[in-house]
Chains A and B, each alone.
Chain A
Amino acid sequence: MMAMIFNFLIFPGFLFAAGAGLLATWLDRKVTARLQYRVGPPWFQPLADLAKLLGKEIIVPEGVSRSVFLGAPLFGLAGVTLVSAIIFSPAPFVGDLIVVIYLLMLPPLAVIFGGSASRNPLSAIGASREMKLVLAYELPFILALFTVVLKTHSIMIGEIVRYQNLSGLMIGSLSGLFAFAAALLAVQAKLGAVPFDLPEAEQELAAGPLLEYSGAPLAVFRLTRAMLYFVLPAFLAVIFMGGGLDPWFMLKYLIVLTLIILIKNTNPRLRIDHALRLFWGPVSGLAALAFILAWLGK
């Protein structure tokens, strides 16, 4: 019991993922700044943002449902904490991968609930875009993950890692490479990073679903986003490049994170119908191709 609480709250769970995630968002901001020939913020910047937001006044707009408005951020935070605890869990339990897919749905769901509860037209548009985006990226993401399942004959993360230790990394095979490319784009959208940042679209929707949030709930949303910056690339690294918390794994994680940051900095934002068409067309096609190749044994 104590080990489980430790597992969820401290080591692979909340505290570890939060620390790593805050550093990852700093890396994102720093690399973005360097790519624009700027200096960029110091390393403690995300922590300072969080400390400040936690101390500010919490404004609840008139006429909103308090429980949904204030509960939504915690809902998302719980989801991402559990994913982190499961991915690096020392004792893998049955049904891993499908639980992870379900739990990764919670943060976007929290954004949708929070945005819809805000009683603001811009938040509502942001929430509806988030909803469409979820519909768009979920198909290729699941197809790409099931390519891995088909190759390893297991849905348990521990088994997938063991298979890769014995017979080569997923990304080394043709089908694994295609599936990785599709999953990477889906993760880009899950993070709300630039080509797919339409829910927040600063220039059009001010801050999208988070528009009405201030103080601590906003801090929780930002912490959730920061933790996703650690959890999602780490999840891809575990599934496609083998796992284990060692220096090699950190290198793999950094490679995936760098890829995401580079995609983010070299692409303009897509329109929502273009994003939907991209995911249901070429990206799903790529994932389906990977699935067929895996079925043929490539």
Chain B
Amino acid sequence: MLKKLFKWGLKKSLWVYHAGASACNNCDIEILDLLTPRHDIERFGIVLVGSPRHADVLLVTGVANRQVAPRLKRLYEQVPQPKLVIAVGSCACSAHLFRDSYNYVSPIDEIIPVDIYLPGCPPKPEAMIDAVVKALGKIQ
């Protein structure tokens, strides 16, 4: 019964922490688009929070380079269980055109477990909403 209530709460109120792993800001701007009147993601109870301790979802954009990789790992450990990770953009999914770069370490899913991959450069806001819906399906 309590577990059911918690699951309902989790589905109706996902709090997202946006971890910008040295992204080029293109994905970041598209993410902010979700908060504007056109998409208004607060309808579904999704809000951006400022602290990883409050978050349910870690939204990763960008490529993990040598500076970012250990910090990303720490950030993931700071999010309380249960947690989801969504990799937004081609960079986060596959390092895109930076894969031969001198400071590139490894794909993000080799640093932290990724639940949802969302390719695109940048992905459309509609695609992001779709990704979140799929993430909700994963909770069950």
Contact = CB atoms under 8 A, between A and B. Distances in A.
B53 A211 contact: yes
A129 to B, nearest CB: 15
B70 interface: no
Contact of A51 (B9, B40, B53): B9
B83 to A, nearest CB: 9
Nearest to A203: B50
Main secondary structure of the interface of A (DSSP, over half): loop
B43 A40 contact: yes
Interface string B54-95: 101000000000000000000000101110000000000000
B42 A49 contact: no
B9 A50 contact: yes
A255 interface: no
Given A48-B8, A214-B80, A29 B42 contact: yes
B23 to A, nearest CB: 19
Contacts of B80: 56-59, 214-215
Contacts of B106: none
B49 interface: yes
Contact of A57 (B10, B13, B81): B81
Given A52-B13, A55-B6, A45 B45 contact: yes
A213 B53 CA distance: 6
A267 interface: no
Contacts, number: 90
Interface in B78-124: 78, 80-82
A94 interface: no
Contacts of A36: 37
A202 interface: yes
A38 B42 CA distance: 9
Contacts of B43: 38-42
Interface in B3-19: 3, 5-6, 8-10, 12-13
A52 B56 contact: yes
A33 interface: yes
A207 B47 CA distance: 13
Size bracket of the A interface: 35 or more
B13 A49 contact: yes
A212 B42 CA distance: 24
Contacts of B12: 42, 44-45, 48, 52
A231 interface: no
A212 to B, nearest CB: 6
A55 B9 contact: yes
Nearest to B37: A37
A136 to B, nearest CB: 24
Interface string A252-276: 0000000000000000000000000
A38 B44 CA distance: 12
Given A45-B13, A54-B9, 7 more contacts: A38-B36, A42-B45, A48-B8, A50-B9, A52-B13, A58-B80, A207-B53
Interface of A: 29, 33, 36-42, 44-45, 47-59, 202, 205-207, 210-215, 218
The 8 closest A-B pairs by CB, nearest first: A51-B9, A55-B6, A52-B9, A48-B12, A206-B50, A57-B80, A214-B53, A38-B40
